[in-house]
Amino acid sequence: MNDSDRSMALAFEPGGGSVEIEEIDLDPTGQIHFQGSAAALYARLDAVLERWSFAAGAEDQAVPSTIQREVLDRAGYFEAFAGVALRADRDPDKPDAFLPPAACYHVYAKLAGQRLSGPRSLALATTCGREESRAVDDPGRLRRFRMRELVFLGGADWVAAARDDWMGRTVAFAGQLGLSGSIAEATDTFFGRPGRGRRLIQQIKKLKYELRMDAGRAGALAVASFNLHESFFTNRFDIAMADGSPAASGCVAFGIERWTLACLAQLGEDGPAALRGLIERAGGLGDDL
């Protein structure tokens, strides 16, 4: 995918309409609940992204529902995102269990101290949590949400190529569904010193992109992100290649609730049919959906 592709808007002419608002419920805890056709669309999107990952050769990773404080500490999460981590249990006697703020932290913890014989692509999904002040009234900023990720580990060039390949795949997937969106450069709080200089360096290195889509009253949402971490996490978790060379990491993350909101806003009741048609054209990548 070249630079001009990254900045282009996906073609779409609205016409699907919206689903009934009763099918979307945002509860006081900052979690969204879909019903009816909206719930079916949510489940189908998650299943298609899962099968898509495995069809591309990614290894399946089952992960726990919570993550320990020591893992987030080692990852530098509390330094970068003070006050954002969401405890899994409000019980003061259980202060060290959190909902993972992103699925990929489980991978670094699992591979800590290992030497990789070759590049690896790992697929995983879990319910994530972040302390969002707007979560009670903004369906685009949830405290609890489902994230499906692909994590890449290997040499820096291989990781960058894998990230770029999946960015192209994702743009094509959205376009085939008939969704409108655009790829935009973004920055991450993790990397570099605070301020404009950090953002500029990340943009020069092209470390982070987001696929942003209109999602109705939720506004423009980043439904997917495409990230290069360089050696940030592999250094912190002592992950390297078997020959002693440095390992790099990257990831692609899909927010399932956000994808669902974008499909509902742009395609309305046609969303499930559009997804089913895409599956059929892809040669049966999920015939039961």
Tell me the residue type at 163: R
Measured CA to CA in angstroms, residue 225 lies from 26, 33, 64, 287 at distances of 24, 23, 22, 28
pLDDT digits (tens, 9 = 90+) for 170-181: 999 999 888 999
Tell me the residue type at 182: S
- Residue 125 pLDDT > 90, yes or no? yes
d(Cα 227, Cα 164) in Å, to the nearest integer?
9
pLDDT exceeding 70 applies to what percent of the chain?
Answer: 79
**Residue-level pLDDT at 232:** 93
pLDDT digits (tens, 9 = 90+) for 171-207: 999 998 889 999 999 877 655 444 444 554 555 568 9
Are the beta carbons of 248 and 153 closer than 8 angstroms? yes
Tell me the residue type at 117: S
Measured CA to CA in angstroms, residue 9 lies from 103, 149, 175, 181 at distances of 28, 24, 10, 6
More confident position, 275 or 232: 232
pLDDT digits (tens, 9 = 90+) for 246-287: 999 999 999 999 999 999 889 887 777 777 777 666 544 443
Going by the DSSP 8-state scheme, the letter that residue 125 receives in this structure is E
- Residue 109 pLDDT > 90, yes or no? yes
**Residue-level pLDDT at 280:** 63
Are the beta carbons of 101 and 73 closer than 8 angstroms? no
**Residue-level pLDDT at 241:** 98
Reference 251, options 272, 281, 226; nearest CA is: 226
**Residue-level pLDDT at 283:** 43
Q: Backbone phi, then psi, for 130, in 5-degree steps? A: -145, 145
Confidence of residue 140 (pLDDT cuts 50, 70, 90): confident
pLDDT digits (tens, 9 = 90+) for 66-100: 999 999 999 999 888 877 878 887 666 677 899 99
d(Cα 160, Cα 267) in Å, to the nearest integer?
32
DSSP-based three-state secondary structure for 201: helix
DSSP lists the bridge partners of residue 250 as 152, 228
* Cβ neighbours for 228, distance < 8 A, ≥ 6 positions apart: 159, 160, 163, 205, 206, 207, 208, 248, 250
Mean pLDDT of the chain: 82
Q: Outline where the chain has alpha helix (H).
A: 3-7, 36-55, 69-75, 77-80, 105-111, 156-177, 196-205, 232-236, 256-267, 271-281
Reference 242, options 71, 157, 120, 63; nearest CA is: 120
Going by the DSSP 8-state scheme, the letter that residue 27 receives in this structure is -
CATH superfamily of 3-8+19-281: Bira Bifunctional Protein; Domain 2 (3.30.930.10)
pLDDT digits (tens, 9 = 90+) for 205-214: 689 999 999 9
- Residue 158 pLDDT > 90, yes or no? yes
Tell me the residue type at 29: T
d(Cα 97, Cα 176) in Å, to the nearest integer?
40
- Residue 18 pLDDT > 60, yes or no? no
More confident position, 86 or 120: 120
CA atoms within 13 A on the CB side of 152: 26
Tell me the residue type at 195: G
DSSP-based three-state secondary structure for 198: helix
pLDDT digits (tens, 9 = 90+) for 46-61: 999 998 899 899 999 9
d(Cα 52, Cα 29) in Å, to the nearest integer?
31
**Residue-level pLDDT at 191:** 52
**pLDDT, mean of residues 224-245:** 96
